Amino acid sequence: MNPNYLQTPLVYLKGVGPNRAETLKSELGMETFGDLLQLFPNRYLDKTQYYKINQLRDSGADVQITGKIIHLKTVEQKRGKRLVATFVDDTGQLDLVWFRSQKWIRENIKLNEFYVVFGRINKYSSSFSMPHPEMELLTEHQAGLKINMQPIYPSTEKLSNSGITNKVISKLIQQLFIETKADFEETFSKALLDELKLISKVDALLNIHFPKSQELLTKAQFRLKFEELFFVQLQLLNKKAIRKHKIKGLPFDQVGEYFNIFFKNHLPFELTNAQKRVIKEIRNDMGSSAQMNRLLQGDVGSGKTIVALMCMLLAIDNDYQACLMAPTEILAQQHYNGLKDLVQGMPIKIALLTGSTKKSERTFLHNQLENGNLNILVGTHAVLEDKVQFKNLGLAVIDEQHRFGVAQRSKLWHKNSIPPHILVMTATPIPRTLAMSLYGDLDISVIDELPPGRKSIKTVHRYDANRLKVFRFIKDEIKKGRQIYIVYPLIQESEALDYKDLMDGYESIAREFPLPDYQISIVHGKMKPRDKDYEMERFVRGETQIMVATTVIEVGVNVPNASVMIIESAERFGLSQLHQLRGRVGRGAEQSFCILMTSHKLSNDSKTRLETMVRTNDGFEIAEVDLKLRGPGDLMGTKQSGLLNLKIADIVKDNHILKSARYYAIQLLKADPKLELPQHQVIRKAYTNLVKDKAIWGYIS
């Protein structure tokens, strides 16, 4: 069949019409035959069994019964009316009940004819009723396509109210199979079908919508999930290969004196094996003639900044400039201070550019950049402005990349005639499954060990009733000369409430830790940036012992002397946020502590999150649990951006299929990079159609 047939607008399918087409488009985003074909069921109801009325036992069961309607009546109730039909078989009777569409049902029901009814039963004392049953005349039921496992499709309230019920959608899909004669093109080569023992595309589509048995349904689901993930991986791997061949990079073939002098004389501590391995991976990338695009993952405190700096020194050794972009001014300032300290005594010029940089400083900065006097620029989004021009940008390091959009990142590419090497850093550990899908086109490096001398942070969960004991513990730590963070939630929707909680908390802490013995800083979103920075600075300098704050301190604040993190209402935070906050302590050589404070009322998910935090400090293990709890969309904040807009696969539950799909996609591209061999033409054709229709681009940011 011509695949373009699947691009036919839905309005041309018998039974749809303009109104239904409009509703299906607005509610489910379906516009074409192909969209309807790929509206896969959420679940299935087993319709293999027919019950007798005297076999009915409990409320809530979905059952199918054959019988006749012998009587119809309208019953008045407090609000409106209900229509009740007496339905009988040779063993007893039950009531069929409708609260809506009563006129249509009354006009269309045939008394004393055999029907097959299907629905959920309710039991009142000893009698049964079935609200809003699915009904079909027995003659039609026997003549129709036998559906033993009834598919339940995604729906919305508006669809149901418009009369587009599950049954209607099922009928439309049947109609689609009739009109297309189920002549759907195969998308896999015979070799792949044989090796993986996959059923054909036609059989898979038929059995996903109208499964003949549980076994065939399982085979259909596997085939379609594998196909979807296979083509996503093919797209990502192809994108990566094209970039490596087509986009020329700047070959950094010199490892010169900047890199070597820093390594010998300025390195503050011995590099971990993980840091050495990652630097080697990056050096290999930058030494080749292809542009580097690498994601550097490492837990909070694993030493990503040192790795980034050494890569920047490689750029400087090869007569290029480098820049480091951070999502907030506080973080940019911190990177700037950190880098300056590390290269102190070396002839390297570093500057900071943020939204707050004064105009006179900017002009000077722009000149220094353009004439090549400036080696490293650290900044926020301000770096992306058109006015910011480099003499020769060789390496761009992006910190916490998920805070920067695709368009913003591409601006960095155009700061040089040949695109600079790109190193993306994140302290948010990304589970391997997600990394394979979201960053399958990037090379990935992981720093998976902490620098020596770092003690593991001890994490405990305490209820509000233990608050006085916690206060005593804080006093003991302050006596030892340590500093304390106390963090309150900040959720956009309840900002006023959160602000009140913060202020109430601040007052009770101020009573417990009075002046002049104790000094307290407070930082929250309603403060002016100037005041926020002033309070932060006091804490950094050690003038205050306690910092009471909302989550503004989540990213990048570095106070080695702070050894206790108390998280109030910890049940209201996500796992990755809890882990990020915990990473603010444990930066010095002393033992650090994280105390999770909660009320006694906890949901199961909250309990899982807290138990995970107490059990492990491993960011990757935490990310895996988070992925299972929240799903991929929420985890990456990508629900809105449609980043994993998969039709049938689920990268968490179908992790094993994803790995297999990626393996076979890699093997295919190794054997036939351009898909030119005759046996791969079906795959090439399917791939080309997907890319052409841009369907696959919906999967990938």
Domain tally, the chain: 4
Q: What is the pLDDT of residues 601-648, one digit of tens each?
A: 999 999 999 999 999 988 888 888 888 887 665 544 433 333 457 889
- Lowest model confidence (mean pLDDT) among 170-174, 274-278, 332-336, 662-666: 332-336
Q: Say if 214 falls within a structural domain.
A: no
Residue 553's pLDDT is 60
Same domain, 371 and 355: yes
Same domain, 472 and 572: yes
Same domain, 463 and 345: no
Q: Say if 501 falls within a structural domain.
A: yes
Contacts of 53 (CB under 8 A, 6+ apart): 65, 67, 88, 89, 91, 92, 93, 94, 128
Q: What is the pLDDT of residues 455-473, one digit of tens each?
A: 889 999 999 999 999 999 9
% of the chain with per-residue pLDDT over 70: 92
Same domain, 491 and 443: no
- Lowest model confidence (mean pLDDT) among 402-416, 577-591, 603-617: 402-416
Q: What is the CATH number of the domain that holds 352?
A: 3.40.50.300
**Is residue 429's pLDDT more than 80?**
no
43-46 and 149-152 strand pairing: antiparallel
Same domain, 294 and 356: yes
pTM here? 0.67
- Check: CB of residue 585 under 8 Å from CB of residue 558: no
Q: Say if 353 falls within a structural domain.
A: yes
Interval 437-445 mean pLDDT:
77
| Pairwise pLDDT comparison (414 vs 467), residue with the higher score | 467
Q: Say if 233 falls within a structural domain.
A: no
Q: Say if 684 falls within a structural domain.
A: no
Measure the CA–CA gap between 634 and 656, rounded to whole angstroms. 21
% of the chain with per-residue pLDDT over 90: 53
Residue 100's pLDDT is 84
Q: Is 58 exposed, middle or buried (0-12, 13-18, 19+ CB in 10 A)?
A: exposed
Same domain, 468 and 567: yes
| Pairwise pLDDT comparison (144 vs 296), residue with the higher score | 296
Q: What is the pLDDT of residues 104-132, one digit of tens each?
A: 889 999 999 999 998 889 988 888 999 99
Which of 566, 598, 616 is a domain's end point?
A: 616
**Is residue 480's pLDDT more than 80?**
yes
What value does the mean pLDDT of the chain take?
87
Q: Say if 604 falls within a structural domain.
A: yes
- Lowest model confidence (mean pLDDT) among 376-380, 520-524, 547-551: 547-551
**Is residue 586's pLDDT more than 90?**
no
Tokens representing residue 243 in the block:
């970039």
Residue 525's pLDDT is 76
| Pairwise pLDDT comparison (153 vs 654), residue with the higher score | 153
Q: Say if 692 falls within a structural domain.
A: no
Same domain, 25 and 52: no
Q: Say if 300 falls within a structural domain.
A: yes
Q: What is the CATH number of the domain that holds 11?
A: 1.10.150
Parent domain of 36:
1-47+147-184
Which of 598, 616, 634 is a domain's end point?
A: 616
Same domain, 439 and 464: no
Same domain, 20 and 77: no
Which of 158, 184, 210 is a domain's end point?
A: 184
Residue 614's pLDDT is 97
Measure the CA–CA gap between 432 and 430, rounded to whole angstroms. 6
**Is residue 354's pLDDT more than 60?**
yes
Same domain, 519 and 378: no
Same domain, 8 and 73: no
Same domain, 404 and 311: yes
